[in-house]
Structure 1
Amino acid sequence: MVFFKYPEQIRRVMYTTNTIEAIHRQFHKLTKTKVRFSKQNNLLKLLYVGIKNASTKWTMPFPNWNLAVSQLAICFEELLDATLDL
């Protein structure tokens, strides 16, 4: 598996920060009781509010982030140098 070729700190970041799954779960919670929306705009407004609410909950810093960034810099040096000014 490609996942296991990376150091443990990088795997931990990938495993615990799956933003797509988290936002999908938030959307599902918001829409599971609604069978239909009278206008598409109403659905978009609901999803927008859901994203705003979810983003306020994602404030906890990742443990050992500096170590993870160091590992990422080693594995993806050419990609991160310009972005992070390392």
Structure 2
Amino acid sequence: MTDHLGCEKHDAGGRGSGNSRNGSRARTVLTDVGPVEVKVPRDTSGTFEPQIVGKRQRRPTGVDEMVLSLSAKGLTHGEIAAHLAEVYGTEVSK
């Protein structure tokens, strides 16, 4: 969202730009290990496109395999979340 809006959360430089953060909504994403609830950020103009699971998409592309592979290698939830944050530049809900 920061890249999309061009400013950090609570940054005064983003005020009056015509588009700003508008909270998030919960979505259920279907994975190989079952349904997972994620928080999807929103912007006031509705132009933000989520990176991992796109709009109206219920199943992530390739993420299932990556998470299962990292888990099989013994990485913890926190390490997997950090890896996804590094690769996709996004936070993962628990």
- TM-score of the two chains, using structure 1 as the length reference: 0.31
Which protein has greater RCO, CA pairs closer than 8 Å, 6+ apart? 1
* Structure showing the higher helix proportion among its residues: 1
* Structure showing the higher strand proportion among its residues: 2
Larger radius of gyration: 1
